[in-house]
Amino acid sequence: MIVLSETGLIKIKLKAFTLLELICVMAISALLIGLVIGRVGKVPAYLTFKNNLYQVSDLMDEASNWAELNGKKIVIIYNDGQFYPQDERIRRRGSNLDFELPSFIDVSFNDTSPALKQFVFFPDGSSSGPDMAFSYKGHSATFKLSKLTGMPILKIDE
């Protein structure tokens, strides 16, 4: 606050915060920081879940394209959280057809028989494979292949 003194000089008086005001501001700040930090840990895990689903979809799309371009059938096998091509030569070539899901994502199939845990892509663009369901902490998604076009269909339930 600026005050004019009797001698004509300008004096500046500063008001200070009381201890109680400082404690209240710090308590409110700590509460807000706690709320923000509590939410930050949940968002990246859900985004990681979605990102992994998109990577599975991209892998299947890549396998479909690979089969069409090379004129050969390609089989992608799923086993214990890993997707990989059945043909050893493709694996050695360093293709983008290998992917491992994180262990926190639960996977289930429409049929549990071991023979159906493979996805087959044909040179004419068609495909076959089981429908899959993914889940993580109340979030879920379904995945299937279009039998006619071989393209992956991913539906994430928000």
Which domain CATH number covers 121? 3.55.40.10
**Does 22 fall in a domain?**
no
**Does 30 fall in a domain?**
no
Residue 117 pLDDT > 80? yes
- Which amino acid belongs to residue 44? P
The pTM of the full predicted model, rounded to 2 decimals, is: 0.68
Per the CB < 8 A criterion, the answer to whether 69 and 90 are in contact is: no
**Does 100 fall in a domain?**
yes
> What does the buried/exposed string (b/e) look like for 62-101 if buried means 16 or more CB atoms within 10 Å of the residue's CB?
bbbebbbeeeeebbbebeeeebbbebeebeeeebebebeb
- Quote the domain boundaries for residue 135: 42-157
32-59 pLDDT, tens digit per residue, is 888 777 666 566 777 888 999 999 999 8
Q: What is the rounded CA–CA span in Å between residue 125 and residue 69?
A: 10
**Does 52 fall in a domain?**
yes
Chain mean pLDDT for the chain:
82
- Which of the pair, 70 or 38, is modelled with greater confidence? 70
The pLDDT of residue 73: 92
The count of structural domains within the chain is 1
Residue 131 pLDDT > 80? yes
**Does 61 fall in a domain?**
yes
81-103 pLDDT, tens digit per residue, is 888 888 877 776 766 778 888 88
Nearest to 76 by CA among 109, 116, 123, 124: 116
**Does 142 fall in a domain?**
yes
